[in-house]
Structure 1
Amino acid sequence: MRRFTEGFYGYVVALFVCLAGAGLFLLIAPQPREEHIPRRDYSITVANFGHSVPYAVWAPRQDPQDWVPNSNRIAKGENGAQVLYLGYATAKREHAMFVQSNEQPAAGFASRMANSDKAVGTQQVGGVAWEQRYREDKNQRTLVRFLPDVTLVITGTADWPELGQLASALQERPKG
């Protein structure tokens, strides 16, 4: 008579015992139930950006309620222009990003950030009209504001009211 642990059936039984043990462990081990979104302070990035560009910088005076700033960086755009990126998880846990640069042509910069060059409307935020753009295949909504020395872009999967919340939080910080 063959031993129970030999051959193919022994292998199957040993594999089943290992998988059952792992499954039992996962079933009884405590699992974290709260979401974790890393919070990244952007104040130093904004200050550094302000020192590297020849115009006043825009940034949120305070983050919208229940939003989590989760990314920020300064990058080189086309023609050597500096670009500031501030990323957020919104209150509805969608993505929103604020981007600004004096890259020229401004329309090309805005189209690249929005992944679209077609305006679909305007949105009033604090008495100021922002151009709306929408790219359906990426579910990407974008607000664009062209100023004389800088282009402001707010983009992401967040809905129009949430993007408007971020736009209304922006304020110009004097060059200094």
Structure 2
Amino acid sequence: MRRFTQGLYGYAVALFVCLAGAGLFLLVTPQSRDEHIPRLDYSITVANFGHGVPYGVWAPQQDPPGWVPNSNRIADGENGAKVLYLGYATAKREHAMFAQSDEQPAAGFASRMANSDKAVGTQQIGGVAWEQRFREDKNQRSLVRVLPDVTLVVTGTADWPELADLAGRLQQRPKG
């Protein structure tokens, strides 16, 4: 019995037993190769946000195909304003977020969400002009639309067509 617990032979046997046990464990453990992004329904969050703001809330009428809504929250903005955030994993598995608030000044909110205050162009989406902003060091693209009662920002690492797809699906829901 002593030869199994001493020397190089004993070390090799112990190593083999450990590796065999680990291999057996990996063999019987169920493994999933499928990607799993948690899907979070944002309808209750949007409804709750609508009860706390004095304007009709904007939200996607329908999510873009292949997109997964994976985060949503209501937060306090500057000067007592409320902010609604809806986050997505896009079909290309990039990040996109829609944020809206009646925070004043609107330019401050838009600049914080876009991480930039410099417009790089405009884009027509559904017959409406959206301001484009780009922050190269973060690979962040943003579409900004300032309305009289609310500021809308669609932002993320998604490309311009994906962000435009989300922006084009936004519709204002009646206050009530």
TM-score (norm 1): 0.91
Task: State which drifts further: 26-35 or 116-125.
Answer: 26-35
Q: Distance in 2 between matches of 1:173 and 1:14?
A: 68
| Aligned positions of 1:152-171 closer than 5 A | 152-171=152-171
Structure 1 residue 21 corresponds to structure 2 residue 18 = no
Aligned CA distance change for structure 1 residues 119 and 27 (closer, same or farther; 3 Å): farther
Deviation of residue 121 (structure 1)?
0.9
Other-structure match for 1:172: 172
Distance 1:16 1:141, change over 3 A: farther
After superposing the two structures, state which structure 1 stretch, 24-33 or 138-147, moved more.
24-33
TM-score of the superposition, structure 2-length normalised? Answer: 0.91
Whole-Å Cα distance in 2 between the matches of residues 125 and 102 of structure 1? 21
Shift of 1:21: 2.9
Q: Distance in 1 between matches of 2:23 and 2:122?
A: 54
Contact (CA 8 Å) 2:116, 2:135: kept in 1 or not?
A: yes
RMSD between aligned residues: 1.9
1:121 equivalent to 2:121? Answer yes
Alignment of 1:133-144 (within 5 A): 133-144=133-144
- Whole-angstrom distance in 1 between the partners of 2:36 and 2:99: 24
Q: SS of the counterpart of 1:14?
A: helix
> Identity rate of aligned residues, in percent?
85
Structure 2 CA distance for aligned equivalents of residues 119 and 85 of structure 1: 22
Shift of 1:35: 1.2
1:89 — aligned with what?
89
* Aligned residue type for 1:108: G
- Secondary structure at 2:4 match in 1: coil
Q: CA deviation at 1:29?
A: 4.3
Aligned length: 176
CA, structure 1 residues 86+18, in 2 after alignment: closer, same or farther (shift >3 Å)?
Answer: same
User: How has the CA–CA distance of structure 1 residues 78 and 16 changed in structure 2, closer, same or farther, with 3 Å as cutoff?
Assistant: farther
Report the CA distance between 1:23 and its aligned residue. 3.5
Are the aligned partners of 2:70 and 2:89 in contact in 1 as well (CA < 8 Å)?
yes
Task: Check if 1:130 corresponds to 2:145.
Answer: no
Aligned amino acid, residue 174 of structure 1: P
Which 4+ stretches in 1 moved above 6 angstroms? Answer: none
Task: Specify every segment of 5 or more residues in structure 2 that has no aligned partner in the other structure, as ranges.
Answer: none
Change in Cα spacing, 1:9 to 1:124, as seen in structure 2 (3 Å) is farther
Gaps of 5+ in 1: none
Aligned counterpart, 2:51: 51
- Distance in 1 between the 2:106 and 2:89 partners? 26
